[in-house]
Amino acid sequence: MRKSIIMIMLFLSFSWQSISRVQAGTDADPDVSGPSDVALVPAGSFLMGSPIIENRPLEGYPGAETPRHKVFLDSFYIDKFEVTNGQFAAFLNSLKDEKGFDEKRPKWVVIRDDLDTPGKKDWWPTEIALEDGVYKALPGFERYPVISVSWYAADAYCRWAGGRLPTEAEWEKAARGGIAEADYPWGDELPTSGIVFKQKWRSNAYPAPTQEVDSYYPNGYGLYHTAGNASEWCADWYAPDYYGKSPGKDPNGPDTGRTKVIRGGSWASVAANLRVAYRSFSTPDGLNSGVGFRCAKDAERK
């Protein structure tokens, strides 16, 4: 209860201010515009991972989250919102005339047009389509999170937008929103109906059961949907034993690997997998129906 009270106080007292903007279009064109405010996460230490607790469900506290360890991070910027269909469509349009793009694009993201091809007819798309040679978010879904997108595409988008994918440590600190040692961004209480989780997507003829990226409430740093809606790619390679050898300052994950870290839980996740310490992973070419991303950027070092 005390953590919930602290969260409410943080929410009421935090003065939201746009630090900078990553432009992905103009307000005049809803197909390419979208919220792109970023938050400044201050330098400092936090406890990363989960404690080893007896008599807790194994599903909720796998060994990959331990040992809980102290990590210091320099200050950084991170998007308050997950990258949207509108923003990602603008990215595709900026590159569509480049050589080799037509071969690269289907490996980056599954769009509605891909369902007409034999290899992708049973896949789960994001709400983007190609109309008269222009990539557009479907009407009404401009501000929904882009999903079914590969790590390679997420990495390329963030670089195009002037940033990068957050490290796993940056993501967890930002997702915690200043509340130490809590299970969720809002405290230890189980998620409510306002969080997008444990949903069913019964047919790819319909859109994914996600919500607009600026729906519900932000956490203490002003970030939305760090639990549920879309899971999010991180920059790091994944290793289940990395926490036992992670450096204490600005960790960047293993040097090599086969899979990349995914954080945050998605529209399909159970409550235990929405926790800020929960770790998942996929191959970087994976086009997973619950996975999107947000971008980060270094703050100026003093």
Range of the domain at 152: 2-298
| Local confidence band at 193 (pLDDT 50, 70, 90 cut-offs) | confident
Sequential DSSP letters for 22-66 = ---S-TT-TTT----BEEEEPSEEEEES----TTS-TTTS-GGG-
Checking if the pLDDT of 53 tops 70, the result is no
Q: What is the pLDDT of residues 6-16, one digit of tens each?
A: 333 333 333 23
pTM: 0.87
> How many domains are contained in the chain?
1
Mean pLDDT across the stretch 127-135? 98
The more confidently predicted of residues 131 and 17 is 131
Checking if the pLDDT of 174 tops 90, the result is yes
| Local confidence band at 25 (pLDDT 50, 70, 90 cut-offs) | very low
Q: How far is CA 74 from CA 167, 198, 302, in A?
A: 12, 35, 10
- Of 152, 112, 117, the residue nearest 284 (C-alpha): 152
Supply angle C-alpha 157, 228, 197, rounded to 5: 140
- pLDDT (0 to 100) of residue 54: 52
| Local confidence band at 62 (pLDDT 50, 70, 90 cut-offs) | low
Average pLDDT, the chain: 87
Lowest mean pLDDT: which of 46-60, 117-131, 277-291?
A: 46-60
- pLDDT (0 to 100) of residue 295: 98
Checking if the pLDDT of 302 tops 80, the result is no
Give the CATH number, domain containing residue 267.
3.90.1580.10
How far, in Å, CA of 124 to CA of 114, rounded? 10
